[in-house]
Amino acid sequence: GLYRRLRRLALRHGGVIVFFDEADSLGSRGQGAAAGPQPAMTPWTSAPTCNGLAYVSAPARHAAFHASVLGPGYTEQIIMGNMGGGGGMGTLQILLAEMSGLTKPKGLINKFRKLLGMKPKPPPKYRILHIFATNMPNTLDPAMLRPGRVDRQYKVGYPQKDGRRATFEYYLAKVENEISSEELDKLATITPYFSGASIKDIVNEGLVIAIRDDRDMVTYSDVVKAKQLKQHGLPDEHEYIERERHSVAVHEACHAVVAYRMRKHAVIDMATIERRGDVGGFVSSIPPEDQFVQWRTEREIDVMTALASLAGERMFFDGDHSMGVGGDMRAATGMTSQALAYYAMGDRIASRAVTLAPLGSMPMETGGDRALFDSEFGQSVEDKLAELYEKTQELLEQNRSVVLTLAHALETVKTITGDDVEAIIEGTPGPTIDGRPYHDQSFLKMIERYHDAVLRAHKEHAGVETRIPVPVPPMPVDGAAPSPGIGHAQRQPVMIDPRSPSRPDDSA
């Protein structure tokens, strides 16, 4: 067997290293298979927002997941065969015995010496070093981890930005590409928490995209599209009715505007109104640097980003708003409750963690906390939310035209990158969208008229009489964005239906 061969190699060379990958597949003697405690339903898990927690910064997502989803004492469950003992129960028992050195063979000579009444010779000295790798350390049998078997445990994290850049360089060198050094640095920035295997996967997918487009060269846009596909999956084949398409676009545009204007600790990765399952659209963000902790001001901005959907829908739809804000409000309430209860980010310093139930439960999860919002603490949460809501509302009022231009781009293209969001807001050429036409005053008036038509249709529950305006030249811009020094012909925007394949003729 394996250990017989290992012993021969160890005797020959003085020692041997054996590596077990996916060590969790060896099973356990019941710990992982038992029905352990379930994580409590929290504001983070019970109702996703319009985009899950995509717009929340990385530190907030990390803290929320570990503090309120897993919590202290959470046991990760694994389903195995053989009555919960693990599919590799016999293998595990043999491994434990071998690691303890209890099965060293006595040898034929020692057997003869024993028969002759002679003292057996001690077995030859050799060392077998065991190395295990797993993504599920909680499922390993405790007997395997005791001193003498596994003496040290190392956590191998995700590569930092420099490591991701080097990994991209390595895999892109294997394919024909026209990705510049600046674009390579940007790819390393927009892929936080990506492993080497993930980076290899999106480079391969980028090559597939290029081949399907009859190109030999992989571009930056190909890799970005591949990242979006691998990270978020394929969109559903769903078409909104026109007034609902506009409302979803306004909803996501409000998230994007607040995130762009306020957040310095995270940048927009992409914005989309394409449905994926129960998610109608989302604005995802990424940290520009590998930050470990989050500050009070950053948490408040994350809450404002969540509240933007409610404030924006009320502002653009005459005080009305959809049920689509429900998940955002749950996330905003959860973030605020956590900040005030745990991290002294309110008027009080004391932590409520010492009063909570086991499993790291948050307020409003236990029977004794069902009247949370009737309590003094609940009122402080409501007051903080109202304060941040007012700030969010003021910001959106100051950026009304920006919201409508972003909503227009989302309605027209459906999915845009963070660079495109910046191009639209700043009026510059972007990777796929030229943002300059969005700063033409005559076109802005047409966008306002279109929104007014949608608002009337919303109130009357009718069709939209006015077609969505499309600037000239049409968007998105295929290929590389035009140079800022190269202008387009000065032409007036036109009104056309984005569902129609026709576009204004260049000779018009």
DSSP string, 286-353: E-SS---S--HHHHHHHHHHHHHHHHHHHHHTTT---GGGHHHHHHHHHHHHHHHHHS--SS----GG
Q: State how many domains the chain has.
A: 4
Residues 309 and 255 sit within 8 Å (Cβ to Cβ): yes
Q: Are residues 116 and 180 in the same domain?
A: no
**Running along the chain, 508 residues long, what does each successive block of 10 average in pLDDT?**
86 90 77 41 43 54 46 33 44 80 63 75 77 89 86 89 95 95 92 92 96 94 92 84 94 96 91 85 87 89 96 96 92 91 86 61 50 77 95 97 96 92 94 90 94 94 89 53 35 41 37
Helix H or strand E segment including 379: helix 376-398
Range of the domain at 93: 2-36+75-145
Taking the C-alpha atoms of residue 138 and residue 28, their distance in angstroms, rounded to an integer, is 10
SS3 label, residue 198: helix
- Output Rg (C-alpha) for the chain, integer angstroms: 29
Q: Are residues 136 and 171 in the same domain?
A: no
The total of other beta-carbon atoms located within 10 Å of residue 173's CB is 8
Q: Are residues 367 and 479 in the same domain?
A: no
H-type alpha helices, 190-278: 196-212, 220-232, 242-262
Q: Are residues 381 and 445 in the same domain?
A: no
- Token pair of 16, please? 């041997």
Q: Are residues 357 and 454 in the same domain?
A: no
Taking the C-alpha atoms of residue 466 and residue 452, their distance in angstroms, rounded to an integer, is 9
At 80, the amino acid letter reads M
Domain ends where: 86, 114, 145? Answer: 145
Does the pTM of the predicted model rise above 0.75? no
Quote the pLDDT of residue 28: 67
Q: Are residues 30 and 125 in the same domain?
A: yes
Q: Is residue 437 part of a domain?
A: yes
| Helix axes of 196-212 and 220-232: crossing angle, nearest 10 degrees | 120
Taking the C-alpha atoms of residue 331 and residue 325, their distance in angstroms, rounded to an integer, is 10
Contacting residues for 163 by C-beta, under 8 A, at least 6 apart = none
Q: Are residues 14 and 141 in the same domain?
A: yes
Q: Is residue 250 part of a domain?
A: no
Hey, CA dihedral for 471, 477, 481, 483, is it positive or negative? negative
Token look-up 């600046």 returns 182
Q: Are residues 358 and 423 in the same domain?
A: no
Q: Which of 365, 338, 366, 372 is closest to 352 using CA atoms?
A: 338
Strand pairing report for 267-272 and 415-417: antiparallel
Q: Is residue 497 part of a domain?
A: no
Q: Which of 11, 20, 199, 34 is closest to 107 using CA atoms?
A: 11
Q: What are the φ and ψ backbone dihedral angles of 342, each rounded to 5 degrees?
A: -105, -35
- Token pair of 387, please? 């304060």
Contacts for 323-331: CB closer than 8 Å, 24+ residues apart: 324/50, 324/248, 324/251, 324/280, 325/50, 325/251, 326/47, 327/47, 327/48, 327/49, 327/50, 328/49, 328/50, 330/43, 330/46, 330/47, 330/49, 331/43, 331/44, 331/49, 331/53, 331/56, 331/306
Helix H, strand E, coil C: the string for 63-81 is HHHHHHHHCCCCCCCCCCC
Q: Is residue 251 part of a domain?
A: no
CATH number of the domain that residue 312 is part of: 1.20.58.760
Taking the C-alpha atoms of residue 263 and residue 307, their distance in angstroms, rounded to an integer, is 14
DSSP result, 158-170: ---HHHHHHHHHH
- Token pair of 53, please? 């927690």
Taking the C-alpha atoms of residue 140 and residue 96, their distance in angstroms, rounded to an integer, is 12
CATH number of the domain that residue 213 is part of: 1.10.8.60
Q: Is residue 262 part of a domain?
A: no
Helix H or strand E segment including 98: helix 89-99
- Give the angle subtended at the CA of 140 by the CAs of 137 and 142, to the nearest 5°: 115
Q: Is residue 228 part of a domain?
A: yes
Quote the pLDDT of residue 460: 93
Q: Are residues 297 and 385 in the same domain?
A: yes
Quote the pLDDT of residue 474: 47
Q: Are residues 166 and 299 in the same domain?
A: no
Q: Are residues 317 and 192 in the same domain?
A: no
Q: Are residues 352 and 315 in the same domain?
A: yes
Q: Is residue 312 part of a domain?
A: yes
Q: Is residue 82 part of a domain?
A: yes
